[in-house]
Amino acid sequence: DTAVSQTPKYLVTQMGNDKSIKCEQNLGHDTMYWYKQDSKKFLKIMFSYNNKELIINETVPNRFSPKSPDKAHLNLHINSLELGDSAVYFCASSPSFRGTEAFFGQGTRLTVV
């Protein structure tokens, strides 16, 4: 009964490949996010969607393309993977009112070799 679930948990792939990470939340939240956690554990927002609409794009390379088919899902597709894309990617969701924390998925560790 996971609130925010991501698949896969681990992803190892070669440079130049294209890969996708899927995220689903069953909390009924309107807003979903993608965060990137680098090797120094720094968490940086990449994208935010509200009711399937892209709201925040934090100057992420256009090789990264989020897609939200409905407000419960937010997938991340990455084209032409580079070594520097290796990181842990977190999906999160929150309701559309103040004061509530973001709920995170378990993260996807992406390793590009």
Partner 1 sequence: AQTVTQSQPEMSVQEAETVTLSCTYDTSENNYYLFWYKQPPSRQMILVIRQEAYKQQNATENRFSVNFQKAAKSFSLKISDSQLGDTAMYFCAFMNFTSGTYKYIFGTGTRLKVLA
Mark residues 60-99: x for contact with partner 1 by CB under 8 A, - for none.
----------------------------x-x-x-x-x-xx
Cα gap 57→76, rounded to integer Å = 13
Cα gap 81→112, rounded to integer Å = 7
Contacts of 40 by beta carbon, 8 Å cutoff, 6+ apart: none
Q: Is residue 43 near partner 1 by the rule CB under 8 A?
A: yes
Nearest-approach distance from CB 80 to partner 1, in angstroms = 26
Radius of gyration of the chain (CA): 13
Question: Which residues make beta-bridge pairs with 57?
Answer: 47
Q: Is residue 102 near partner 1 by the rule CB under 8 A?
A: yes
For the segment 3-42, give every residue that binds partner 1 (CB under 8 A): 31, 33, 40-42
Residue nearer to partner 1 on the CB measure, 16 or 24:
24
Burial of 90 (0-12, 13-18, 19+ CB in 10 A): buried
Cα gap 37→108, rounded to integer Å = 10
Nearest-approach distance from CB 64 to partner 1, in angstroms = 18
Nearest-approach distance from CB 34 to partner 1, in angstroms = 12
Report the interface residues with partner 1, using CB under 8 A: 31, 33, 40-45, 48, 50, 55-56, 88, 90, 92, 94, 96, 98-99, 101-102, 104, 106-107, 109
